Each structure stands twice: as C-alpha cells, then as structure tokens.
Amino acid sequence: MRIHRQLPIRIGTRGSELALAQAHETRNRLLHAHPVLTAADIDIQVIRTTGDKVQNRPLSEIGGKGLFTKEIEDALLAGTLDLAVHSMKDMPTEFPAGLGIVCLLEREHPGDAFISPKAATIAALPQGAVVGSSSLRRQAILLRERPDLKVVMYRGNVGTRLAKLAAGEVDATLLAAAGLHRLELQSHITSIVPYSQMLPAVAQGAIGIEIALADTEMAELLAPLNHRETEIRVSAERAFLAALDGSCKTPIAALAELNDDGQVLFRGQIIRPDGSETLEAVRTGAPEMAAMLGRDAGEELRQKGGKAFFDAAI
C-alpha cells in the first residue's frame, strides 16, 4: 500500500533490552509487510516510565500494571508517537479513551523458565532455598509447591536479574521464557516449568501494538502483522483478568490454547499469596467465544473466592 502519512513512523517503547528487542521486531515486521518503507522511515523512541524509575519496591505497592504504560500512552494521546509496543502481560485491562491495541504479534512460548545453578527444577531445590521473584503469581505458586522456600522480591530487567543470580544473591529465579528467547538468552534456562505446575501470567509472551484509534491509516499498516491465533488466546485471558478486576495484588494465572480440533481450551487460576489455596476454572469452546469463555471463568472464580479470598491479597 502507498504511505500517505508523514514519516518517520514513531514507535514508543520502554528502554529495557527486552522492550527494545520487541520494538525492533515490530519495526522489522513493518518493513517486511511494506517494502516501500525503509529503516530510515521508522524511528524507535525510548520513553522512561514510572515502573522503570522505581526499582526497589514491588509493583503492587506503587500502583500496578499501568506504571509501565502511562508515559507512553500520554505521548500517543499528544500525537508525539504513532504507535507503542507493549508486553501484553504489563497492560491494564482498560485503556485511556481514544487508545487501544489493534495488533498482536505472534506469541512466543508463554511459559515460565526456571533458572538455577543449584537445581534442575523447583522440586529439586535444597530445603529453604532462596528464590528471587517480583511476581506475586510466581511467589504464590512457589510457596504452594514448596512452602519451605524463602521467596524474596527481585526487581530489575532480565540482565540485572541474571547478574544477581550469578552473584549468588539468590539460589534460583523464574523469568518468562519468551523474553529469554527474544534476547537470545535461552542458554540460561535450566528448565521450563510445566503448565501443570505453574500457569503463566495473563498474555505472557504476547506483544501488543497500541495506537490512537482515530489513526485508521496506522491501523491498516499494522493489520498484516496481526496474528489471529494469538488474538484469540489473549482475548480469553484478558477477559478473565477483567472479570476478576485483576490487579498486581491478586495472584492470577491463565492460559488459553487452541487444541487439535481448533477449539479454545482455557484454564484460569487465582491463588492466595501464601500459596495455601488455589481455585481453578476450565472452559472449552469455539474461537469466536474466546472472550466469553475467559469472562465466564473469571466470574466463576470471583464467586467461588468471595470477598475474603481477594481481601487476602491486600
């Protein structure tokens, strides 16, 4: 298609190595989809967010998921960016008026990677081992599987967390397998945690592209990049999160997959922060029902858990 808009196209991203890798992946896919564009026609701009500035406190204490998006979304609304590239697991379920995700790149492996110089799996860790994680979901599941473990808060980008592990600050950590693959750091993975033991975070491994919804030309440029299966799966998981009014204070896990006959298989969990109780809902249905399946599962767990369950996360 012919490009009528003013160039360069301005991509907004956080400044971590992983965020930059995702922005470059988006740029490369745009170039491939539209040969009329050149690398000089796409400009990647780093925006430092509140979540990047505050590294010494858990996200749940300083405001949750929106901390990684607000400054970038402000730039989209101001018209100083044309699109923003996000890790979908960091995205709130609601967007500022006029903004939205219009494209999802093909999802990487959504699971969690276990990394340790001392054990091959979570089960093989020594009694009382120290595991670093900033994720309440991972912390809760670790304590459910191994109540003897000491789980400590562990913020920082991928490189920082791997360096802390190498320095012996912790005995093990868990990171998204997708991020390690995108950074070509998969050699650090000791093992992939099976879904039966640890369901992923909602939309883990998926990259979303956010724009001003009035920018229809940008939406058309991005349309060839959208991966339909990823869109189906992420829609179920995010509908589940929205039904639970999920925040960073509630350990929530979910995974939607397409089985061999093309049906959606959805599994969602809520976990008490101390790992003492897990509630799970499972749904299957047609792809066009994906969001409804996730929403229905979330409503079931909201009713099952009741106020006491969610109050326990505060």
The domain ranges of the chain are 9-105+206-226, 112-192, 236-311
DSSP state of 169: S
Task: Specify the CATH architecture of the domain 236-311.
Answer: 2-Layer Sandwich (3.30)
CB–CB of 43/6 below 8 Å? no
Residue 228 sits at φ, ψ, to 5 deg, of: -60, -45
Q: Which fold has domain 112-192?
A: D-Maltodextrin-Binding Protein; domain 2 (3.40.190)
Question: Greatest CA separation found in the chain?
Answer: 62
Residue 171 a catalytic site member: no
Coil/strand/helix, residue 46: strand
Rounded Cα distance between 212 and 73, Å, is 9
> How much of the chain, in percent, has pLDDT values that exceed 90?
83
Q: Which of 17-31, 48-62, 177-191, 244-258 has the lowest mean pLDDT?
A: 48-62
Rounded Cα distance between 120 and 116, Å, is 7
Same fold, 9-105+206-226 and 236-311: no
Q: Which of 18-27, 43-52, 55-64, 144-153 has the lowest mean pLDDT?
A: 55-64
CB–CB of 8/80 below 8 Å? no
Residue 52 sits at φ, ψ, to 5 deg, of: -80, -30
Query: Taking 90 as the threshold, does the pLDDT of residue 211 lie above it?
Result: yes
Of 90, 112, 215, 296, which is the active-site residue? Answer: 90
- As beta bridge partners, residue 115 has 173
CB–CB of 280/300 below 8 Å? no
Is residue 309 very low, low, confident or very high in pLDDT (cuts 50, 70, 90)?
Answer: confident
190 class by beta-carbon count within 10 Å (0-12 exposed, 13-18 middle, 19+ buried) = middle
Q: Are strands 9-13 and 42-46 parallel, antiparallel or unpaired?
A: parallel
Assigned token pair, 221: 């440029």
Average pLDDT estimate for 258-284:
96
User: What's the residue count for the chain?
Assistant: 314
Mean pLDDT of the chain: 92
Provide the pLDDT for residue 63. Answer: 52
Is residue 70 very low, low, confident or very high in pLDDT (cuts 50, 70, 90)?
Answer: confident
Q: What is the pLDDT of residues 45-67, one digit of tens each?
A: 999 876 665 555 555 554 555 67
Residue found by looking up tokens 């400009």 in the block: 43
Rounded Cα distance between 118 and 141, Å, is 20
Q: What is the pLDDT of residues 105-131, one digit of tens each?
A: 999 999 999 999 999 999 999 999 999
Is residue 154 very low, low, confident or very high in pLDDT (cuts 50, 70, 90)?
Answer: confident
Q: Which fold has domain 9-105+206-226?
A: D-Maltodextrin-Binding Protein; domain 2 (3.40.190)
Rounded Cα distance between 67 and 92, Å, is 10
Query: Taking 90 as the threshold, does the pLDDT of residue 44 lie above it?
Result: yes
Rounded Cα distance between 242 and 23, Å, is 26
Provide the pLDDT for residue 279. Answer: 96
Query: Taking 60 as the threshold, does the pLDDT of residue 269 lie above it?
Result: yes
Assigned token pair, 187: 């050699």
